[in-house]
Amino acid sequence: MKRKKYKRIGKALRINSEETKPEAHSDGQLSRAEAEKLQAKIVDDFRNWESSAIRAAVDLDQFVRGKGWIALGYERMTDWREKEIPEADFYYLRNVLKLLSEGVPTEKIERMRITNVNTMARALPPAEWKKPLWQEAAATLPTKEFTVKAHKVSDDLCQHVEILERRGFQVAKSIAENWDLALRIAEALDGAESMERRIQAIVSNYLNSPSEAPGKNKLQAYEAMNSEEIAEVV
């Protein structure tokens, strides 16, 4: 009797053991345990990346203040930047540099999320950056919650902030090189330091350039063409 009893217990244990095993998927789908592990790693890697980006901006601020490019044999900072630092990376760090230039303590910025730093620089005036309340919020609040709070204060202060739109394109190398050249010209001749202002200068110059229509720029010619099409429909 004891042997039969032990067999029944052993069978029950095997069934329970099989039920607790992660479910195997033939199509490569992750089990819950595997997904949770990867999720934790993704969040941790992203936080580490944010911290690295902010530390890089702090180092860059010290480099710029000390005119480090001269010691490296470059005549201008722009020459050094174009040779040594990817342009997109450099401009991504500019908002951190803005906070540093306004006197926000380095140790405070190092605790912040890079996404919240960018929102703070765009949505709030410099006077708000120095307030401990906002510094703590940028360090602790999730991106979405911080953005909502910052934009509400921005509206209360009548400081208009446009919603950001992301654009991307893939073109032949020669076209990309001409685009980079246009960005450099906008910076040098129009004094457009930020990427946003440089693109704005390029777009504005194109829209205001002469069209084939007498006395009209491209924007005016386009609006006239649309007005004629609407009139024909009506």
**Cα gap 222→226, rounded to integer Å:** 6
Q: Which residues contact 118 (CB under 8 A, 6 or more apart)?
A: 95
* pLDDT of 183 higher than 80: yes
Report DSSP state, residue 69.
H
**Cα gap 223→208, rounded to integer Å:** 12
Structure tokens that stand for 103 in this block: 């006197």
Report DSSP state, residue 217.
B
Q: Which of 14, 33, 12 is nearest to 22 (CA)?
A: 33
Helix (H, G, I), strand (E, B) or coil at 210: strand
Give residue 162's pLDDT band: very low, low, confident or very high (50, 70, 90). low
Q: What is the pLDDT of residues 136-157, one digit of tens each?
A: 999 999 988 998 899 888 877 7
Q: In terms of pTM, does the model score above 0.75? A: no
Cα angle for residues 43, 44, 45 (degrees, 5° grid)? 95
Q: What is the pLDDT of residues 87-130, one digit of tens each?
A: 667 766 888 888 988 999 989 998 898 889 988 988 888 999 99
What is the average pLDDT value for the chain, to the nearest integer?
79
